[in-house]
Amino acid sequence: MDPGHSITPEKHRIHDRLDMNPYQSLPSRSFWRSAVAERDAASIDDLWTPKFPIGRHDAIATAGSCFARHIGRALAGHGMNWLDAEPAPSDVPEPEREKRHYGVFSFRTGNVYTAAMLRQWVEWALGVSSPPDEVWTEGGRFFDPFRPAVEPEGFGCVDDLRHSRRTTLRAVETAMTTARCFVFTLGLTEAWSNDATSTVYPVCPGTIRGTFDPAVHRFRNFTHAEVHDDLNATIAMIRNVNPGMRILLTVSPVPLTATATGRHALTATTYSKSVLRAAAGQLAEECDHVDYFPSYEMITGFPFKGMFFEKNMRSVSPTGVDFVMRQFFGAIHAQEPPAPAPAPVLPPPETAPGEDFLCDDAVLDYYRDR
């Protein structure tokens, strides 16, 4: 044996210490082999540990890009308290409701693709700023530039349009001031703004409705810093009126329909989703009241080999939506205390349910310390 390599008692102790490293006590979910490689894709789980509890009775508001519509529906279907702050009036026939965006999100803003657009809606709803007077007209009908899809046939007059938008803004205010949790799904970094009014549109003027004017309408591709700033400011506004509000951010796995950057749609999608994912993740790291739910990874992660997309490799299949929501409910229910067994009528218990056992512990602890 090379004497230079002999293990002295001191070296042995060092060796022991080196044997104990931070990875040795990590759970199997932390290792690629046990968490991913050795599993069938459909059995990959434990992707999310909620930072805060979401109770069955907690009012939950949802909004965001098109993928967000699955979340509200699933929450309601699962018996949770999904907040519909702008329910359909009774005179709107059932078949028309979804087309007119009733029951899709917690309010009828239509899809809110960007953080900038969310900030704008919250500012308007909370009276921080006011919407501009801009109205689009077409065929004698009037369309709201900031939610052109919610009334596909438009409004008969400008007053009706403004009245309808005020109703939606009141619903946004209600949701932001009363919900316990707001789930927002980030969709895009690309948007079009109006230089004259400094507002952001949900879609490019001239596509669904309106007229494109290159002198006024400007393309924006928001940076990480801008998305982070918009989200941060929005969350601060919401928490100012609702200090208990918790924010759950997600990123839509749905790729861009089209990019105006001049780049390939795939690389533009990668940029957009990377920025959104990074901004959401950073906020979740920075704030106790913000969490990130990885629906994006659950659908687009390469271990899933694109199996949750439809043939166009863009739309998420019902199986994919089920996979995401199963992970969501599995994680939040794992945090709930076990459901109590039906109890017979008994004299008052010595110990109360819920956190009150902590009071007993605290009392015992006081005397144990002596």
Partner 1 sequence: MTTPCSTTTATARFLLIGDSHAGPIGKAARRQGLPFTGGPLGAGREFNTDFFDGAEGDLTFRKKEANALFRRFLGELGAPTFSRITVPVVSTVGFSAHFPATRENWEIYQARTGAFEEGFLSSRLFDEIILAMARGALAFYEYALSLKLRIVAVMPPQRVPVLSDPAAFMAAQETIRRALDALGVEIVDVRSVAADGSGFQHPEFCEADDPLHGNLAFGQLILDELAARGV
- In the complex, the residues that contact partner 1 under the rule CB under 8 A are 53, 55, 57-59, 81, 83, 85, 174, 177-180, 239, 243-244, 352-356, 358-360, 362-370
Tell me how far, at minimum, the Cβ of 334 lies from partner 1, in Å. Answer: 15
Q: Which is nearer to partner 1, 177 or 317 (CB)?
A: 177
Q: Which is nearer to partner 1, 176 or 316 (CB)?
A: 176
Tell me how far, at minimum, the Cβ of 22 lies from partner 1, in Å. Answer: 22
Tell me how far, at minimum, the Cβ of 343 lies from partner 1, in Å. Answer: 14
Count, in order, helices (H) and strands (E) of the chain.
11, 9
What beta strand segments (E) does the chain contain?
Answer: 60-64, 136-138, 141-143, 181-186, 190-194, 199-201, 217-221, 246-251, 290-292
Residue from 118, 123, 127 nearest 147 by CA: 118
Q: Which is nearer to partner 1, 18 or 343 (CB)?
A: 343
Q: Which is nearer to partner 1, 177 or 270 (CB)?
A: 177
- Give dist(CA 78, CA 70) in Å, integer: 12
Tell me how far, at minimum, the Cβ of 99 lies from partner 1, in Å. Answer: 24
Q: Which is nearer to partner 1, 92 or 363 (CB)?
A: 363
Residue environment code for 92-131, b if the CB has 16+ CB neighbours within 10 A, otherwise e: eeeeeeeebbbbbbbbbbbbbbbbbbbbbbbbbbbeeeeb
Which string of DSSP letters, residue by residue, matches 49-102? --SS---TTS-EEEEESTTHHHHHHHHHHTT--B--SSPPPTTS-HHHHHHTTT
Residue environment code for 133-145, b if the CB has 16+ CB neighbours within 10 A, otherwise e: ebbbeeeebbbbb
Nearest 10 degrees: Cα torsion 176, 177, 178, 181: 40
The burial of 345, by beta-carbon neighbours within 10 Å (0-12 exposed, 13-18 middle, 19 or more buried), is given as exposed
Q: Which is nearer to partner 1, 55 or 281 (CB)?
A: 55
- Give dist(CA 44, CA 303) in Å, integer: 9
Q: Which is nearer to partner 1, 117 or 248 (CB)?
A: 248
Q: Which is nearer to partner 1, 16 or 355 (CB)?
A: 355
Q: Which is nearer to partner 1, 158 or 358 (CB)?
A: 358
Residue 253 has, within 13 A of its CA and on its CB side, a CA count of 26
Tell me how far, at minimum, the Cβ of 366 lies from partner 1, in Å. Answer: 4
- Give dist(CA 76, CA 104) in Å, integer: 11
Give 217's contacts (C-beta < 8 A, 6+ positions apart): 192, 193, 194, 195, 201, 204, 205
Tell me how far, at minimum, the Cβ of 359 lies from partner 1, in Å. Answer: 4
Q: Which is nearer to partner 1, 58 or 134 (CB)?
A: 58
Tell me how far, at minimum, the Cβ of 71 lies from partner 1, in Å. Answer: 17
Tell me how far, at minimum, the Cβ of 20 lies from partner 1, in Å. Answer: 25
Tell me how far, at minimum, the Cβ of 53 lies from partner 1, in Å. Answer: 5
Please say whether the beta carbons of 149 and 205 come within 8 A: no
Tell me how far, at minimum, the Cβ of 13 lies from partner 1, in Å. Answer: 33
- Give dist(CA 262, CA 272) in Å, integer: 14
